Chains A and B, each alone.
Chain A
Amino acid sequence: MALEVQPPSDRKRVKVYELRDNDWFDRGTGFCTGQILDDEPRIFVESEDEPNRVLLETKISKDDGYQKQQETLIVWTEPNGTDMALSFQEAEGCAVIWNFVNNVQQHLLSMAPGEDALSDDIESYQSIMLPPPELGNLPEIDHVMRAASITQAGRDALSKFVIREEYIPKLIPLVTMAEDLESLSDLHRLCNIMKSLILLNDNTIIETVVTDSIILGVVGALEYDPEFPTHKANHRQYLADKSRYKEVVPIKDALIRRKISYTWRLQYLKDVVLARILDDPTFSVLNSLIFFNQVEIVNHIQANAPFLKELFTVFDPRSADTKRKEDAVQFLHQCAVIAKNLQAPARANLFANFISHGLFAVIAFAIKHPKPALRTTGIDILVALLDHDPVMMRGYMLKAVNEKKTPLTDTLIDLLHTESDLGVKNQLADAVKVLLDPQIPLQDTMGRAGPEHFNKPRPNILSDAFVQNHFDESARRLFWPLKRLEHADHLRGLTFQEVALYSHLVDILTFFVRQHLYRSRNVIHNESLAPRIAQLLAVPHKHLKLTALRFFRALTSLQDTFYQALMTHNNIFGLILDIVYETMPRDNLLNSACLELFEAIRCDNMKPFVLHVVEKYGEKIKNITYVETFQSLILRYEQMQGYGGEPDSTLLSHEEETPSRRMQANGQRWQGVREMDAAEEEYFNTSDDEEWQQESRQSTSEAAQVQNGAASPVVKPLVDYPDDDEDEEDAMDTKPEPGDGQVQQTQEEPQQDGSSHDDAFSSDEKSPSTPVSLTVQTPPERLSEKRRREEEDDDELIKLTSGPKRRSSTSAGPGSAGFLRRKRSVSIGSLAANDKGALGNLNSSAAPKRIAINLSSATSSPTTTSSTRTKASDAGSTQPVTDHTSNEKENRDDNHSGGG
């Protein structure tokens, strides 16, 4: 018997490290070879200085968790528990040894089931035999499967065997047998076996599992989770309950019916049975199976005209079957929810079909339904349509107006006024907001229609005057309750409902004003809404007050003369200052919101407001001294009047040159505001030119600094980027560039630079009395199930932008990428803090990285030139035992660069 693995022929230069007391101890530099001695595969390292000294001789065994990290590191644990690392000078050398280790391990693994199964056939490790499915064989089956699951080759071979031999159906009878025998240990083993089978992550296996004859047996076994020995789930009871499937109109196609029930089971597996143990690949396989089933189901439904006809006739007013109508609404709702995940054309088809069959009537039926739950459902369907294509929806609405029918908006507005269920009211407000959104996203339409439609008017596009007219009409209707406030002599006794309504209305108006400067002017002016909202600034209900305040905050940042006039003519600032007086010096939300408004005026130097506020309310603000804001405002005013100091021209020009990137990024809410148009610009530039503004700003901060002592931190404006942060900006500009400087820095440090830092972090290191690094290494049986999904990794805002479809995208499949990913995660083991690209989380993972850098410095080889930013920054960290936090970070980086 001989190993058929060819040892690598030449010697690779390498450093040997051993983990001692949580620090990597350098055992020396030498040459590494893979050898097979007495049929035992070994890794040898001979010392470079003393060729006869053996730095390392280790036998490759199948169980040691070898990991390849980065390009040049191999890390593993010796049978005696010592963590070792080999840091190669060159990636190529590392790859050679790594291949050797890999081949040996796979070979050993394939021989694992029975010692006598040794074979010279190199193919042997690609086929796996499981013992016959009998209760007595369960321990062995479990064992073989666990062993095989460690490598991708093993998993593939196992999958093939299981499918070819139809192994799963043969296992099913064992579940009842074991139950009859009340053999808990067998049931636990069966549960493990089922888990391993599902986590093989093979489409065919998972599809088999959810078939009628199999599913109950599989979830039956999964009811006995050895991790919860005292519990038994009741999956079978849930899945066997046929009554959960509701049929409004029978679906006749048997294939589709089957798909529906499979999909339901898949969802149950994903959400309930396997929720805790799902890893990333299996999660995405489940998701993609569900997704493709749903596509088929929805396609079938929308193409099935008789079905749709029957479905919508359920809503015939002459029919008295209310239960059926309610179910039909639920059915449509479920279609809409599924549609959200579909691709846009499929979704458009479905909705278009629904609409042509009378979906709007259904929505109208639902939102007037006496049951709040059904109203909610109805609005949900509407919102799904709005999310899908707001332009189309507005088109339908305007068409209805044009045809002198009652548009949906009117219905919604009336409901909003009268709705008593606050949840429904909330939804209604959102729907009205979108439907009436004065800013029609034209780009959106064109993008969807394609360039050829660019110049063609949409069929139902109506004249702008008409649109404006409709907007005014609807807005008048909508904001009527606000207008009525004029005659309300007291606002103390507002009911809960009224408060909620006014909040929604003001909120909607704020949205309109932000979306479109001009469109909402008419209604605000004609209905004189501003004074009404100003009234709300004085109500005792604080959140309503806040909503009103936010309306005026929005006006403030618009830089539009019309809205400015609203602010200055209605004693708005007086009322806001009243709130400041009421709340100060208490530090609460309202108070902060007021301060933020005045801060914004000051920081962004909104001259008309500075003038207005100081001139009109000078007395009032003079007395507010608990924050700097108001004194600074007065100061700014005085500078405008010409009392300011000489501007420093160098600083000024510097300010202009400062890249505006960071400014925008950190600008407070100001950034949400669109650019000034020419007319407004002109308005702001009358009498004083731009320079003057900047001069005064400059001198303000200067003067303030003088006043408070040079180092006072308080005076600087909240976001005074140009002078405040130029250093930081530099820092940030250089940071993303390859961390050359950092690498260099590290290189300058002695090899074991960690030791010098030990003291600083010693408490950290010694602190956890529970040796977490050890407990973290979970036993092998959990390896396969604990690989972590990438979604679970860490929060990333970036992920959000990639949209919800990420989940339903197809899995990596058996391609090489998937292979790599799996392999890595297997070797990482259970360490869930890691994910796809993550390297060892074994407490030591970051340390070897440092070694890599050290080695390169020692041997002056340019291996690190290709370091990514991640590496560089990790290298820059000199903490000896890098913690898991930084691993997480690394994962994030990985995700980041991988595009999620």
Chain B
Amino acid sequence: MSDLDRAIAQLRACRLIPEAQVRELCYKARELLIEEGNVVNVDAPVTICGDIHGQFHDLMELFRVGGDVPDTNYLFMGDFVDRGFYSLESFLLLLCLKVRYPDRITLIRGNHESRQITTVYGFYDECIRKYGSANVWRYCCEVFDYLALGALVLGASSELDPSGPVDTTQSTMPIDDELETEILNSKGEVTMSTYRPRPQSTGASTDSRAISPPRDISATPGQAPIRSGAAGTGASGDSGGSLSSRTGAVLCVHGGLSPVIDTVDKIRLIDRKQEVPHEGAMCDLLWSDPDEIDGWGLSPRGAGFLFGGDIVKRFNYRNDLSLVARAHQLVMEGYKEMFDGGIVTVWSAPNYCYRCGNVAAILELGEDTSNGGTVARSNGDYGRSNGLLGPNRPAVRSPGRRYRVFEAAAQDTRGMPAKKPVADYFL
């Protein structure tokens, strides 16, 4: 068992690792993260998670519901720390997993991954409390500066495979319809499903889907076929005949869009290694919120913007995205789709702050094996956008979305959540 595995085991038990080991971990993570783009490409299948906020036991519950690393591919959209009482344990565990399984877990930055915010909302205090000095906080903040700003999920399937017995009322759905969304409770029972008609497409592509073997979306994706198409990349690689089944890419950011960023590629032009600024593109990506308005609005948060459905629609169209997944806002149901499914808020901290009474959710996107999969959206493929704005571009189809909703960890699995008291005092 390597040191890292030992550290993982220790952190899973909610026990901290020594300061020297934290330092080493942070340096390793830094080496890894510096190689990541501002927007990380992630292949489906992947499970997308929202805010964690130091609710360690609920993070464990999340892994129980969604599958463990490395069996499940995870993408965490920031806000690992603050508010909850176990920010250190939560963040260090995620970081350990990142270092141990770099390809199986992606961490992007949230607005709480910042020096300024963490000194106000608890993480700094927690570090002082648990390690006696601010050193660990400094190491972690250094890592925050290296975290990616967003991720692009490629090759998600537009259709889900039903994950369980469908209840009778829904089995009357036309067989031709494909399963678009599915809501599961923490026991894995389907509580709701929605269907949509299959695209009117050439026989060939329908056939290919019909004969594609049933697959479990949480299965390991090792057997991906040769990837030739480019669903979601926007490249013109979609060979004729399968156009209708293109699933757009999914952009994941913590907050939302920015008026300065009209294409995903502009995010790549940010020098992200810095404290989250108070304004500008990087700030907006981490702070903005969607809202029922037209265009852009001032954010009451004092940073970032509010943006309306038209903005999302335009951005998705221009970038060949089918969905923007983001976190950043508490939603009582755990997830919330807005603007005709153009954007979704995923929230993964159940009973937020130990008192909000909300449920949490994670979003699973399946892998598209029917259409030859996808090529990772090449960074060098800059000119591809030229072809996108033609009027005849087939509409992208949103990915099949499976939400697993879960509640706070059962109380017998955790102690009473509390901050660590000071050891000694003079005053």
Contact = CB atoms under 8 A, between A and B. Distances in A.
**Same assembly:** yes
Interface of A: 225, 227-228, 230-231, 233, 238, 244-248, 260, 263-264, 267-268, 271-273, 275-277, 294, 297-298, 327, 330-331, 334-335, 338, 373, 376-377, 380, 422-424, 426-427, 542-543, 546, 550, 553, 584-593, 595-597, 599, 625-629, 665-669, 671, 708-709, 711-714, 716, 718-719, 724-725, 727-728, 731-732, 735-736, 760, 763-764, 766-770, 772-773, 775-776, 778, 786, 788, 791-792, 794-800, 804, 830-833, 843, 873, 876-879, 883-886, 888-889, 892-893, 896
Most buried by A among B31, B183, B268, B427: B427
Contact of B332 (A264, A331, A883): A883
Given A671-B279, A768-B334, 7 more contacts: A248-B426, A267-B422, A276-B355, A668-B280, A772-B358, A792-B353, A833-B358
Given A230-B411, A275-B417, A592-B272, A892 B359 contact: no
B263 interface: yes
Contacts of A832: 352-353, 355-357
Contacts of B101: none
A323 to B, nearest CB: 13
Contacts of A665: 279-280
B266 interface: yes
Given A276-B416, A422-B23, A423-B139, A380 B268 contact: no
Interface string B355-373: 1111100000000000000
Interface string B159-201: 0000000000000000000000101010000011010000000
B292 A245 contact: no
Contact of B380 (A268, A626, A772): A626
Interface in B305-362: 318, 329-334, 336-338, 340, 345, 352-359
A253 B330 CA distance: 50
A231 B355 CA distance: 19
B359 A797 contact: no
B117 interface: yes
B329 A792 contact: no
A800 B340 contact: no
Given A786-B355, A797-B301, A334 B138 contact: no
A718 B260 contact: yes
B111 A772 contact: no
Interface stretch (B9-17, B35-43, B204-212, B221-229): B35-43
Interface in B105-138: 111-112, 116-117, 119-121, 132-136, 138
17 contacts: A230-B411, A276-B416, A376-B133, A423-B138, A542-B31, A553-B271, A592-B37, A593-B271, A627-B268, A666-B260, A713-B263, A731-B295, A731-B297, A760-B340, A764-B336, A768-B191, A776-B357
Given A666-B260, A831-B357, A795 B426 contact: no
A873 B381 CA distance: 41
A565 B26 CA distance: 37
A587 B267 CA distance: 11
Contacts of A334: 425-427
Interface stretch (B69-77, B92-100, B235-243, B382-390): B382-390
B298 interface: yes
A763 B181 contact: yes
Nearest to B289: A889
B246 interface: no
Interface string B258-281: 011011011011111100011111
B33 interface: yes
B3 interface: no
Interface residues of B, number: 111
Contacts of A798: 301-302
Most buried by A among B260, B262, B278, B386: B260
A735 B307 CA distance: 12
B424 A877 contact: no
B426 A247 contact: yes
B292 A596 contact: no
Given A334-B426, A792-B83, A884 B331 contact: yes
A768 B181 CA distance: 12
B423 interface: yes
A830 B337 CA distance: 25
A795 B301 contact: yes
A597 B415 CA distance: 50
A546 B295 contact: no
A595 B269 contact: yes
Contact of A714 (B23, B263, B356, B405): B263
B192 A795 contact: no
B293 to A, nearest CB: 6
A795 B121 contact: yes
Contact of B117 (A267, A294, A800): A800
Contacts of A277: 355
Nearest to A730: B295
B303 interface: yes
Contacts of A276: 354-355, 416-418
A831 B332 CA distance: 10
Contacts of A883: 331-333, 336
Contact of B418 (A246, A271, A711, A876): A271
B298 A735 contact: yes
B279 A231 contact: no
Contact of A728 (B38, B136, B259, B389): B259
A892 B417 contact: no
A561 to B, nearest CB: 24
A64 B223 CA distance: 59
Nearest to B307: A728
A776 to B, nearest CB: 5
A718 B260 CA distance: 7
Contacts of A877: 291-293
B91 interface: no
Interface in B397-422: 403, 405, 411-412, 415-422
Contacts of A833: 330, 332, 352, 356, 358
A728 B33 CA distance: 35
B225 to A, nearest CB: 25
Nearest to B309: A760
B34 A543 contact: yes
A711 to B, nearest CB: 5
A725 B260 CA distance: 9
A584 B380 contact: yes
B392 interface: no
